[in-house]
Amino acid sequence: MAKTYFTEDHEWLSVDGNVATVGITDYAQEQLGDLVFVDLPEVGRKLAKGDTAVVVESVKAASDVYAPLDGEITEVNGALSGDPALVNSAATTDGWLWKMKLADEGQLAGLLDEAGYKAHIG
Amino acid sequence: MTGEVTKTLPLEDLHQAAGAKFGAFAGWSMPLTYPAGVMKEHQHTREHVGLFDISHMKLFVVSGSGAAALLNRACPIDAEALEVSQSKLTFFLNDKAGILDDLIVTRLGAKRFMVVANAGNAVADEAHLKALARDFDARVEPLDRVFLAIQGPEAEAVLAKAGVDGSSLTFMHGFEPRPNWFMSRSGYTGEDGFEIGLPEADARALLAQLLGDERVLWIGLAARDSLRLEAGLCLHGNDISPDTDPASGALMWAVPKEIRASGTFIGAGALRAIVEKGAAQKRVGLKPEGRQPVRGGAALFDADGNPAGAVTSGGFGPSAGHPVAMGYVSTPLAKAGAKLFADVRGTRVPVEVSALPFTPHRYRKG
């Protein structure tokens, strides 16, 4: 059963075993506005917590999405190449960005739960 | 704008009520987007009517028997040759022909002109013009107005329904239809449309009518930027600045021929020297390959990897359906079809020099 975590940088992680699916929150997509391009990383890339994993581009600006934890990218959401607006219309479902194998599941303890995230965005 | 208080628009309450998201621009808190979002706002303007609050921009009346002479000194323009109601794009230049601001000058009468200046330069423009005015029999009067842009193919119709007749105006003409109103057929979108400066109370009354018309939608600065970029129009501070001049900015069409030869405007000698020698760089349109936007600040390289220039504005063109950009390239590369590369976060994105505008202008030229 997957469990969902959040970061203060407005990402969500759905963790199943040691694999996390990562996306941005609905709050984040609303702040960014209409997305026109998602610069996806290569599968196999190793990420350290805080690395820029993905760049999402709105009409007006480019924004970094950071790796919430250490790990290795196992899959990216190829559907976003043709339809980046999926991140706007379905941020927490079909608009996921990448999947990663976690290097240290213990790092999950440092993330927010849904109540914590809701308190964070006020 | 560090240390300055951010100014709020007189109609901020209306934007709040419309659900605007605000952001800082040129010292002002401005609506960036409304709930429709930048894509829909952009497309709505091209298809129907976009309504923009541009009260951050500044209107000045320049009047007196020396008004035309003052403008001829301040700008590369022949103000005396303008017909009453005729508008013209022009500039304040420094003595190196660098562009201090771009302006629209409209002749209101024999000895009266309206000057519309950019928000970020308004304070400096006023000081500059007032200092120059000491040598002329001319007054410079900044106006306290709400300034609205009504842009799009149905602009004339929605204004007519609201009781404002703009049908007599053609593109780049303006007049004073009512006391303390200034209205011109002009804009920053590439579409037909109007800009109206008017007192706040009149503006609220007009907006009550306009906003009741389903063809009209508030449009924020984000879509204003994508619209003007598709239309190939310059943003001062990005695409033109005191470090660029009308020749390198590909804006010499705004400088009348006889003024190029014999004008006595500030920067005349420097501009003549640049034109004679040929500008080293030229402003061009840039079309990135693929879907990835190339933003202002990105460095450009030629096919061999040599520096070729820089992007000054870039984003996605919702009507064009692809990324659009503008920038400066070395003059030999400033021809449509030239293949370059932009550096985007370390990746070389192919871009092609492209004719401007990206989206055809649909001005009502009469």
ipTM: 0.88
* Nearest chain A alpha carbon to B40: A34
Q: Please give the pLDDT value at position A60.
A: 82
Distance of alpha carbon B313 from its chain centroid, rounded?
Answer: 13
Task: Find tokens 């960036």 and name the residue.
Answer: B32
Would B131 be classed as within a structural domain? no
Task: Find tokens 């400096």 and name the residue.
Answer: B124
Q: What CATH number corresponds to the domain at position B337? A: 2.40.30.110
Q: Please give the pLDDT value at position A1.
A: 73
Q: How confident is the model at residue B2 (pLDDT cuts 50, 70, 90)?
A: very low
Q: Under an 8 A CB cutoff, do B293 and A62 touch? A: yes
Q: Mutate one of B41, B227, B292 to test the A interface: name it (highest A CB count within 10 A).
A: B292
Q: Which of A89-93, B5-9, B255-259, B263-267 has the lowest mean pLDDT?
A: B5-9
pLDDT tens string B162-200? 999 999 999 999 999 999 999 999 999 999 999 999 999
Chain A residues lying within 8 Å of B39, measured CB to CB: 34, 59
Provide the strand spans (E) within chain B: 7-8, 21-25, 28-33, 49-53, 58-63, 87-93, 99-109, 112-117, 139-142, 146-151, 174-175, 182-184, 193-198, 216-218, 281-288, 299-301, 307-317, 322-330, 339-344, 347-354
Would B341 be classed as within a structural domain? yes
Q: Under an 8 A CB cutoff, do A59 and B345 touch? A: no
Percent of chain A surpassing pLDDT 70: 100
Q: What CATH number corresponds to the domain at position B160? A: 3.30.1360.120
**Domain of B151, in residue numbers:** 7-55+145-230
pLDDT of B3 higher than 70: no
Would B261 be classed as within a structural domain? no
Same domain, B164 and B44: yes
Tell me the mean pLDDT in the region B295-309: 97
**Residue B357, preceding peptide bond in cis (omega within 30° of 0):** yes
- Which amino acid does the sequence have at A13? L
Q: Please give the pLDDT value at position B1.
A: 42
Give dist(CA A43, CA A40) in Å, integer: 9
Q: Does B35 touch chain A (CB under 8 A)?
A: no
pLDDT tens string B95-118? 999 999 999 999 999 999 999 999
The answer to whether residues B131 and B25 touch, using CB atoms and an 8 Å cutoff, is no
Give dist(CA B186, CA B149) in Å, integer: 9
Do β-strands B7-8 and B28-33 pair in parallel, antiparallel, or remain unpaired? parallel
- Which amino acid does the sequence have at B340? L
Which ranges in B175-267 belong to alpha helices (H)?
200-210, 221-230, 257-262
pLDDT tens string B53-89? 999 999 999 999 999 999 999 999 999 999 999 999 9
In 3D, which of A97, A63, A61, A64 has the Cα closest to residue A80?
Answer: A97
Residue B67: which H helix or E strand, with range?
Answer: helix B67-74
Give dist(CA B54, CA B148) in Å, integer: 6
Give dist(CA B345, CA B292) in Å, integer: 12
Give dist(CA A78, CA A74) in Å, integer: 12
Q: Please give the pLDDT value at position B148.
A: 98
Would B109 be classed as within a structural domain? no
Same domain, B51 and B149: yes
* Residue B315 main-chain phi, psi, to 5 deg: -175, -155
**DSSP 3-state of B216:** strand
Chain B residues lying within 8 Å of A59, measured CB to CB: 38-39, 42, 222-223, 226, 315-316, 318
Would B172 be classed as within a structural domain? yes
Which ranges in A1-122 belong to alpha helices (H)?
26-32, 79-82, 86-89, 114-121
Same domain, B42 and B162: yes
Chain B residues lying within 8 Å of A57, measured CB to CB: 292-293, 316
Give dist(CA A30, CA B74) in Å, integer: 45
Would B73 be classed as within a structural domain? no
**What distances in angstroms separate CA B93 from CA A119, B76, B250, B254, B271, one per listed residue?**
52, 8, 15, 13, 9
Same domain, B364 and B286: yes
The answer to whether residues B306 and B331 touch, using CB atoms and an 8 Å cutoff, is no
Q: Under an 8 A CB cutoff, do A59 and B316 touch? A: yes
Do β-strands B49-53 and B216-218 pair in parallel, antiparallel, or remain unpaired? parallel
pLDDT of B124 higher than 80: yes
**DSSP 3-state of B92:** strand
pLDDT tens string B29-57? 999 999 999 999 999 999 999 999 999 99
**What distances in angstroms separate CA B238 from CA B7, B189, B233, B242, one per listed residue?**
22, 17, 11, 10
Of B230, B256, B291, which residue is a domain's last?
B230
Tell me the mean pLDDT in the region B276-295: 97
Give dist(CA A69, CA B202) in Å, integer: 56
Same domain, B286 and B359: yes
Class of domain A3-117: mainly beta
Q: Does A41 touch chain B (CB under 8 A)?
A: no
Q: State how many domains chain B has.
A: 2
Would B69 be classed as within a structural domain? no
The answer to whether residues A65 and A11 touch, using CB atoms and an 8 Å cutoff, is yes
